[in-house]
Amino acid sequence: MAIDIDDKEERAAYVALALTPGIGAMRMAALLGHCHTASGALAAPFAFLSTIPGISPAAASAIAERTPADGERILAEVSRLGGRSIVPDDADFPPVLREIPDPPTLLFAMGEVALLGRPAAAIVGSRDHSEYGSLVGREVAEAAARAGVVVVSGMARGLDAIAHLAALDAGGATIGVLGNGLGVVYPAANRALYRRVAEQGLLLTEFPPGERPGIGAFPRRNRLISALARVTVVVEAAEGSGTLITVGTALAQGRDVMAIPGNITSPTSLGTNRLIRDGAEPLLEVADLLAHFPECEHSKTQAHGSATRRPGGSAKACPTPPEDLTPLERGIFEILRGGHTALDAVVAQCGNTPSEALVAISTLELRGLLIHSNG
């Protein structure tokens, strides 16, 4: 049942109903199906609401306590903050969000809403990341943004913040999905990022303005991050990382998942390496990600042309090895310093097991310190 989105009173009633505790997409559909309008649902007596399939007595009581004025207050606050509400019947409500399990019934946005209709990739990762994670996360986000792909992440400290900033610094677009309401900056250290994304990108949330993050807020946020993106890229994730929740929602939504391999001794790469082992697509160079976006104007150039970059640095030769290389990585670097060497020869010369050598080779390739070409 569609609502009259141009009727201010009906829109306010819908907002009040959507923000009633316990009212999700299924119950909202049941209410609109039986009451025809959100205003009708708010005006319906408790006895009638209790007869609607799926509406429990507790839900009926909560609905009976709501009025359109509750929605009017929310909408006024959103407007004061410079944001806007988006309901499923609005033209710019993302169609991809209508298709997921537990779709949102209401969104609040601040910034460039048109970004919701563009191809997007989620770039997520650990709050406590390594220098390697910072380096490759930034370069993947920059490359995606330059190709015209919108970078989506969760506005958390760490790799989320790095992805947002890299996209904007590259002149691209980014969507920050919040686990709280508009007007709340969380974490507080991201105040400047919050302002910049609102001005140059888009902040998006399903929580009402002023609401602080609570239990369950971030898993709900994560399902929107993965839903908005064609591909979710995991840069770094320790064992048990909340980032892996986003992977779970992406898989449940039928989205692709990519992971950046890391050093097998690094705790922050434990999750990504296991994802690859369990079937996630490894992201070994920017072209791997851009191949998922053939319609983007610059993706083919970046994937196949002379401008191709490996995450972690340029593809140019490096005269001296960086100081932070592991002994194995440094040994492989020295083997390759003289020029092209067959992969089997590198593995044989480094003196480690093939699996250890291949992980180190992948790390060096991600950092732009070697190019893997024709074996």
* Greater pLDDT, 86 or 1: 86
Q: 3 has which bridge partners?
A: none
Look up residue 320 and give its two tokens. Answer: 């001296």
Q: Which amino acid is at 226?
A: S
Look up residue 33 and give its two tokens. Answer: 């199906």
At 300, is the pLDDT very low, low, confident or very high (cuts 50, 70, 90)? very low
pLDDT tens sequence across 340-375: 677 777 777 777 777 777 778 877 776 767 766 544
pLDDT tens sequence across 106-115: 999 999 999 9
Looking at residue 152, what is its pLDDT? 98
Contacts of residue 296, Cβ cutoff 8 Å, sequence gap at least 6: 119, 147, 148, 149, 290
At 304, is the pLDDT very low, low, confident or very high (cuts 50, 70, 90)? very low
pLDDT at 288 over 60: yes
Looking at residue 297, what is its pLDDT? 55
Look up residue 187 and give its two tokens. Answer: 């974490």
* pTM confidence score: 0.80
Overall residue count recorded for the chain in this entry: 375
Closest CA to 280 of 246, 242, 314: 246
